Amino acid sequence: MFAITGITGKVGGEVARNLLAGNQPVRAVVRDLRKGEPWAQLGCGLVRADINDAGALTSAFKGAESVFVLVPPNFDPSPDFHEARATAATLKSAIEAARPGRVVYLSTIGAQATQSNLLTQHTIIEQVLGELSMPITFLRPGWFMENCSWDIASATDDGVISSFLQPIDKPVPMVATADVARVAAELLQETWNGRRVVELEGLHRVTPHEIATTFADLLGRPVRMELVPRETWESLFKSQGMKNPIPRIKMLDGFNEGWIEFEGAEAGSRKGKVGLQAVLQTLIELR
């Protein structure tokens, strides 16, 4: 049996669909049992657990051949990242107590970066979970193509997209969540020893310019990228309610300056199958 956290979200849901398609038994780990009902109807077991509840997570992970651990995104962490440290300690104690056979943790590109930024949350959790005695894989995908869902309205209605990724012609390692989930489902079913890292991106790297031209093709209207000046980010993010925008700004700097990169660079990453056009088409249809 495979225990899947984050199953009501993009990646976790698709991981579960991949496993169910292969007739594998799935335990849906949800924080709201009502949201798990559709999964129960698909034949999944259902367990309620918050990612910060060690006791509930222990029950959720007990008896699992393999567990998929997804930590919900936190775009506005405290300066000392104490939320990630607490989550790491909780996960470690739950996994130690439940002793599943293997663990696949959804991490990120750049988890090995030494400069502090938003992704440091995954660095912290990787370090703590890396101390576990059972086999663990850190799956490190690139920037999700589905982040473009934030741009659908402005691309469709105004023909303009604001880009924090800069310059406009700089290729960024991106990946479709369908590929992340497909690879995660494969990894969950593999056997290996110790700690390993799997880095994943799409077939080719994507520039902001390509995002605009792909939207233009799909929408049948001109779409242009508008670069948001770096010096305005802090006040902009604060005006949107962020208390501590520095980690997010440093993450964007890391992508733009190239120090957020795969440990094995482009040559060392696995490549997905799903392209940008297919992802944007789906996002437009879902609007």
Ligand X SMILES: NC(=O)c1ccc[n+]([C@@H]2O[C@H](COP(=O)([O-])OP(=O)(O)OC[C@H]3O[C@@H](n4cnc5c(N)ncnc54)[C@H](OP(=O)(O)O)[C@@H]3O)[C@@H](O)[C@H]2O)c1
Residue nearest to ligand X as judged by C-beta position: 9
Residue 78 or 147: which CB sits closer to ligand X? 147
Provide the minimum distance between the beta carbon of 251 and ligand X in the complex, in angstroms, as a whole number: 10
Provide the minimum distance between the beta carbon of 26 and ligand X in the complex, in angstroms, as a whole number: 14
AA identity, residue 88: A
Categorise residue 186: left if φ over 0, alpha if ψ from -120 to 50, beta otherwise: alpha
Residue 158 or 278: which CB sits closer to ligand X? 278
Residue 162 or 235: which CB sits closer to ligand X? 162
Interacting residues with ligand X (CB under 6 A): 6-12, 31-32, 35, 50-51, 70-73, 106, 108, 141, 143-144, 147
Block residue for tokens 């899947």: 4
The residue length of the chain stands at 287
Which long-range CB contacts under 8 A does 154-159 form with residues at least 24 apart? 155/212, 155/215, 155/219, 155/223, 156/219, 156/284, 156/287, 159/216, 159/221, 159/222, 159/223, 159/224
Residue 72 or 268: which CB sits closer to ligand X? 72
Provide the minimum distance between the beta carbon of 5 and ligand X in the complex, in angstroms, as a whole number: 6
Provide the minimum distance between the beta carbon of 196 and ligand X in the complex, in angstroms, as a whole number: 17
Residue 191 or 286: which CB sits closer to ligand X? 286
Nearest partner of 259 among 138, 95, 78, 111, judged by Cα: 111
> Which residues are within 8 A (CB) of 24 and not within 5 positions of it... i.e. 6 or more apart?
2, 189
Residue 240 backbone phi and psi in degrees, to 5: -90, 5
Residue 165 or 212: which CB sits closer to ligand X? 165
Provide the minimum distance between the beta carbon of 24 and ligand X in the complex, in angstroms, as a whole number: 19
> Which residues are within 8 A (CB) of 82 and not within 5 positions of it... i.e. 6 or more apart?
none
Categorise residue 35: left if φ over 0, alpha if ψ from -120 to 50, beta otherwise: alpha
Residue 135 or 247: which CB sits closer to ligand X? 247
Provide the minimum distance between the beta carbon of 165 and ligand X in the complex, in angstroms, as a whole number: 11
Provide the minimum distance between the beta carbon of 221 and ligand X in the complex, in angstroms, as a whole number: 26
> Which residues are within 8 A (CB) of 268 and not within 5 positions of it... i.e. 6 or more apart?
199, 262
Provide the minimum distance between the beta carbon of 77 and ligand X in the complex, in angstroms, as a whole number: 11
AA identity, residue 89: A
CA distances (Å), origin 242, targets 15, 76, 233: 31, 6, 11
Residue 48 or 159: which CB sits closer to ligand X? 48
Block residue for tokens 């506005």: 76
